[in-house]
């Protein structure tokens, strides 16, 4: 290298040194924004920070939405099932309920004993099923007071808006007095109301129209009480 070339190289070094002293060291800016919310880009060449670009939030996955909806439905169904009760109602008819006498006999004391069957119709206005669990009779007249004993109740479930005949069987014992009424006959008039209760113990006293309803039946027979 000759003298001229060395002089040029020295001038270039001095010029570069003056430029570095003028600009100073390159500063790296730190973005205080929470990580993951924005994305910061920096140009290392000129020491300038690019404007942060907000990141778009990701939408929930379709599977996540489906599982959440299923969980809410199951929870609501379980809550309803725990607090709901059956709403069993009597399907009323224009005439008293009919009875079928299955068997009749006279016991050792001379009383008339009838095995009777009746099938009133019920429906359920609740989504929760229920059944008839208990039944009892209440007399409406005092002309003849028979002894009635429930022997069977069809305890099958009644579902929502299902009309179902429920069979109720009972023994009806009608007392007689053959000693004071020799060789005579007497008309037996029985007027009774049947009260029923569902499996929760609630009394069924409404009909399908929302009004008060009850199961009423009457029984008439000419009783031959002559001694033979």
Give the residue with greater pLDDT, 39 vs 228: 39
**pLDDT for residue 118 is more than 80:** yes
What token pair was written down for 8?
Answer: 């040029």
Query: What is the tens place of the pLDDT at every residue in 18-73?
Result: 777 776 555 555 455 555 544 555 555 555 566 666 666 666 677 788 888 888 88
How high does pLDDT run on average in the chain? 75
Give the residue with greater pLDDT, 111 vs 169: 169
Position 129 scores a pLDDT of 92
Segment of 66-75, 81-90, 148-157 carrying the highest mean pLDDT: 148-157
* pLDDT category of residue 159 using cuts at 50, 70 and 90: very high
Do 169 and 184 contact (CB within 8 A), yes or no? no
Strands 168-174 and 112-118: what pairing? antiparallel
Task: Give percent of the chain above pLDDT 70.
Answer: 67
Position 196 scores a pLDDT of 92
Per the document, the length of the chain is 228
Do 110 and 132 contact (CB within 8 A), yes or no? no
Position 124 scores a pLDDT of 94
Query: What is the tens place of the pLDDT at every residue in 166-178?
Result: 999 999 887 776 5
Give the residue with greater pLDDT, 106 vs 189: 106
Q: What is the mean pLDDT of residues 172-187?
A: 58
Q: What is the mean pLDDT of residues 96-103?
A: 78
Q: Is the pTM value of this prediction over 0.75?
A: no
- In CATH, the architecture of 88-224 is Sandwich (2.60)
* pLDDT category of residue 225 using cuts at 50, 70 and 90: very low
**pLDDT for residue 165 is more than 50:** yes
User: Long-range contacts: 200-206, Cβ < 8 Å, 24+?
Assistant: 200/85, 200/86, 200/130, 201/133, 201/134, 202/85, 202/86, 204/88, 204/89, 204/90, 204/122, 204/132, 206/89, 206/90
């Amino acid at each position: 290298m000759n003298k001229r070339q060395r002089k040029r190289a020295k001038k270039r070094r001095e010029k570069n040194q003056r430029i570095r002293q003028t600009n100073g060291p390159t500063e790296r800016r730190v973005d205080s924004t929470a990580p993951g919310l924005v994305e910061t880009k920096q140009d290392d060449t000129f020491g300038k920070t690019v404007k942060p670009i907000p990141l778009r939030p990701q939408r929930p996955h379709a599977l996540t939405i489906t599982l959440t909806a299923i969980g809410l439905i199951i929870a609501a169904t379980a809550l309803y099932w725990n607090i709901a009760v059956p709403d069993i109602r009597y399907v009323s008819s224009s005439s008293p309920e009919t009875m079928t006498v299955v068997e009749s006999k006279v016991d050792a004391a001379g009383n008339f004993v009838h095995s009777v069957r009746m099938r009133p119709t019920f429906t359920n206005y609740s989504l929760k099923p229920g059944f008839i669990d208990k039944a009892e009779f209440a007399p409406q007249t005092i002309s003849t007071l028979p002894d009635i004993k429930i022997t069977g109740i069809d305890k099958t479930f009644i579902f929502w808006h299902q009309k179902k005949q429920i069979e109720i069987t009972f023994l009806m014992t009608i007392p007689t007095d053959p000693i004071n009424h020799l060789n005579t006959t007497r008309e037996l008039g029985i007027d009774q109301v049947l009260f029923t209760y569902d499996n929760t113990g609630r009394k069924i006293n409404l009909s399908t129209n929302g009004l008060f309803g009850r199961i009423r039946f009457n029984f008439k027979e000419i009783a031959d009480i002559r001694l033979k």
